């Protein structure tokens, strides 16, 4: 019996997904406005978040539900370490720290792993399928906006162990539907396991939004400085031209 969880997650998180894409930091990123300091802070947060998620997923690799979507080839910890080395240098571990929203994200992953491990499915779904779906587009934007060379600071978007991303996503969704969960487990008052997973996925989008919102202040400040510097250079150039003309 299919749980139809893949469809429920897609439909049930559609609104949250759209809201996350409309956060200022994300909208700027998609338009090619990327400030390197803000971006590297995001990478640092991701390092802690993916490390926690992958550690907890590995703990539950034999769980009847979690085990269905336990794919080590999705792991991002190592690629994030490569990117952090690029952005911070070899002593990156001494420089990075979690933001408040990032800390809440990690704490939530640890909490559900200890109490309701099946909800880890929601975090795997929201993170990895998003990474696979838009990874190459985001990689291109990051490279252009930050003037990065090939292989510089974008390892996160590379899934070296997945040769056919479309086929892999299809397999992932099939495994979601094959999970041993049944809507009938809900009694009208207590949500079913499927409903709880969808609810947790929406919560994951919410935490992501808070994390992006934290970075907006840094981005706005950086853009302001860039605009100020550009105007200053323009005024200076104009003054020089006037002096020369005299």
**Token pair of 199 as six digits:** 């609810």
- Per-residue pLDDT of 11-66, as tens digits, reads 999 999 899 888 888 888 888 888 889 999 999 999 999 999 999 999 999 999 99
Q: What does the DSSP 8-state code read for residue 178?
A: T
pTM for this one?
0.86
The CATH class of 5-216 is mainly alpha
Domain ranges of the chain: 5-216
Position 177 scores a pLDDT of 95
End-to-end CA distance of the chain: 86
């Amino acid at each position: 019996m299919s749980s139809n969880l893949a469809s429920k997650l897609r439909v049930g998180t559609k609104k949250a997904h759209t809201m996350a894409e409309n956060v200022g930091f994300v909208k700027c990123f998609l338009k090619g406005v990327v400030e390197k300091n803000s971006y590297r802070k995001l990478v640092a947060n991701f390092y802690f978040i993916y490390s926690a998620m992958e550690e907890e997923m590995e703990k539950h690799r034999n769980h009847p539900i979690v085990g269905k979507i336990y794919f080590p080839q999705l792991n991002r910890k190592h690629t994030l370490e490569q990117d952090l080395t690029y952005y911070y240098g070899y002593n990156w571990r001494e420089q990075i720290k979690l933001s408040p929203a990032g800390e809440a994200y990690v704490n939530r992953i640890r909490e559900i792993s200890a109490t309701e491990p099946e909800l880890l499915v929601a975090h795997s779904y929201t993170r990895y399928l998003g990474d696979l779906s838009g990874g190459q587009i985001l990689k291109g934007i990051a490279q252009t906006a930050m003037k990065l060379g090939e292989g510089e600071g974008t390892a996160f978007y590379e899934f070296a162990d997945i040769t056919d991303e479309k086929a892999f996503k299809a397999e992932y969704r099939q495994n979601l539907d094959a999970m041993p969960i049944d809507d009938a487990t809900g009694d009208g008052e207590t949500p079913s396991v499927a409903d709880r997973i969808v609810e947790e996925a929406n919560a994951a989008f919410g935490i992501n939004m808070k994390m992006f919102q934290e970075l907006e202040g840094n981005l706005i400040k950086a853009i302001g400085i860039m605009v100020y510097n550009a105007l200053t250079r323009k005024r200076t150039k104009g003054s020089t031209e006037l002096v020369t003309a005299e």
